[in-house]
Amino acid sequence: MPFSELFDNEFKQRNRGHFSAIVRVAFADGKISPEEQEFLNKISSTLQISEDEYKEILKDPWKHPINPPYLYTQRLERLYDLARMVHVDHHLGDLQEVMLRRMGLALGFTPGNVNYIVAKALSLVDKKVDLDTFVFEMENMNK
């Protein structure tokens, strides 16, 4: 296997894990709404998820592990996608918020601050901020 394929494979595996985490949040309330489906279609394209991978992940989203990024900014970017999925329903079900906290822990946020981070993330997404604003606000929320 060429060296370049090693990184490409790791990148795809990380994207599959991230997409499966988003699908888990979507399924937390037991169904996928049309708005959630539209969001999943859009994010799968962004993450370069093939049609076959898409179907496989929808069938069993717990099959792929969540691989937390090393960089804090990348964790925030993933949290942004997850929070947008919770928000796309236009109602925040308890199970979805609980699932978002679990995903936050899986992304590497500490148990001591995950509730605060998730609450801040959801409030920013509710204001419909873009990714850059989201990351800036999250990185500077304690200043």
Alpha helices in the chain (DSSP H): 3-27, 34-46, 51-59, 72-88, 94-106, 114-126, 131-139
**Which of 2-6, 90-94, 138-142: highest mean pLDDT?**
138-142
45-95 pLDDT, tens digit per residue, is 878 889 999 999 988 888 887 777 788 998 899 899 888 877 775 555 666
Dist. CA 58–CA 88, nearest whole Å = 18
Which structure tokens are listed for 140? 């500077």
Question: Taking a C-beta distance cutoff of 8 angstroms, is the pair 122, 66 a contact?
Answer: no
- For 38, half-sphere exposure in the C-beta direction (CA atoms, 13 angstrom radius) is 6
110-121 pLDDT, tens digit per residue, is 999 999 999 999
What is the torsion angle, in degrees rounded to the nearest 10, for the CA atoms of residue 66, residue 62, residue 26 and residue 68? 0
